Structure formats: C-alpha cells, structure tokens
Chains A and B, each alone.
Chain A
C-alpha cells in the first residue's frame, strides 16, 4: 500500500540555520510522483515542487533544495539559511497508479523559525 511518512512532527530552528525535513514513501509502482507543499499560518496549501520517479536529479530553487533517493525511498527537503517567513507546516505527498485519483499526504512537519 502507499504511504508517506514524515517522522518529524515539529522542528524549531533559529533564523539562518539550515534545516532538513524528512520524507519517506512507500509504493509498489515503478511510476510515481512526489510533491512538497507549504501551509503557512493563513492555511492555504502552496505547491512547491513535483518530482517523478525516473528523475533522481536533485533540485535547487533559491534557498530550497530537494534530495530524491530511490534507494532509500526518501524525498527530503532542505531550507538553507532559514527565515522567519519559512515558518509553516510542510507536507510531502505521493501520487501513483495504485492510488489512482488520490494523492497520499504525509502527516506534515511543523517548522518554527525563531528570530
């Protein structure tokens, strides 16, 4: 069965620290897609990135970077030089053929960045 595990419930860092949010997924499908979303205090989930199972190249977007490793079924998200505005809940998600129309979400990691 498909599953997304975000073992870190809450993380607290001081501004300018680097922080990595872990995501481990389970799927039997060979074709699947992984996503990260950010939920700021306002509540709306904001899409950050999509990665397909055939592309293990890491991606960097400004202070954000993502490390996809199929060998460990992980899709970790790193924020470099964190800022107070990064404080939010971050969700990792999986879409595969088994799930069909549904996207499977992890429980989320709440990140607190203190000034």
Chain B
C-alpha cells in the first residue's frame, strides 16, 4: 500500500532563516505531488505541484520554492522566512493516470515563524 511521509512534524523558525520541508511517497511510482498551505482556521492554498522529476508548477508567487529531485520526493524551501509563512503545510500525492484519481495527504508540518 502507499504511504506518504512528511517531516518535520513541527518547526519553529526565526524570521529570515531558511526552510526545508520534505515529503516522500512510498508504494507508487510517477505520482503527481502537491504542496498546500493552510493558515489557521482557513482553507487549503495550493502552492506547487509536480507531474514528474524536475517539473514544478507554481500557483502563488512568493518567497517559497519547490523541487523534485527524485520521483517520490518533493521538497519545499525558502531562503528567508517571513512571518506570513507561518501555517500548516500539507503534502499530497495523486496517481498520475487522470482526473478520476484521488488525492491523498500526508500528516502535515506545522510551521511557526517568530
């Protein structure tokens, strides 16, 4: 069966520090991968998605970036964090076969920027 991992689970970082969040999927190949952010009490904001190694689509311009160095690895980064980057970051995957596929989510990372 497929599983999705995210780490760290929680993170407290000072403003201006770098960020690296990692997501890995097991038990599948060539998945579509997604990064979402959820501010407190709010809905899901799609940040990036990837349909293959090295292929990144950005949905919202900001100081975050994403990379997909391996088929089942998706990394979210920032060179300098802002206070507004605080939130709950969710990674998700979906089989690459089409629109009928269900998206599955990881456990998330809670980021607090102080």
Q: Is the CB of B100 within 8 A of A52?
A: yes
A64 part of interface (Cβ distance < 8 Å)? no
Q: Is the CB of A103 within 8 A of B94?
A: yes
Interface band, chain B: 20 to 34
Surface stretch bound by B, among A14-22, A29-37, A66-74, A75-83? A29-37
CB-contacts of A26-69 with B (<8 A): 31-33, 35, 37, 42-47, 50, 52
Given contacts A35-B102, A100-B99, contact A108 B43 (CB under 8 A): yes
Q: Is the CB of A43 within 8 A of B88?
A: yes
Shortest CB–CB separation between residue B105 and chain A, in angstroms?
A: 4
Given contacts A103-B94, A107-B43, A108-B43, contact A44 B108 (CB under 8 A): yes
Q: How many residues on the A side are at the interface (Cβ–Cβ under 8 A)? A: 28
Given contacts A102-B46, A105-B43, A105-B44, contact A45 B105 (CB under 8 A): yes
Which residues of B are found within 8 Å of A46, using beta-carbon distances? 105
Q: Is the CB of A31 within 8 A of B43?
A: no
> Which B residues form the contact surface with A (CB < 8 A)?
32, 41-44, 46, 49, 51, 57, 88, 90, 92, 94, 99-108, 110
> Which A residues form the contact surface with B (CB < 8 A)?
31-33, 35, 37, 42-47, 50, 52, 91, 93, 95-97, 99-103, 105-108, 110
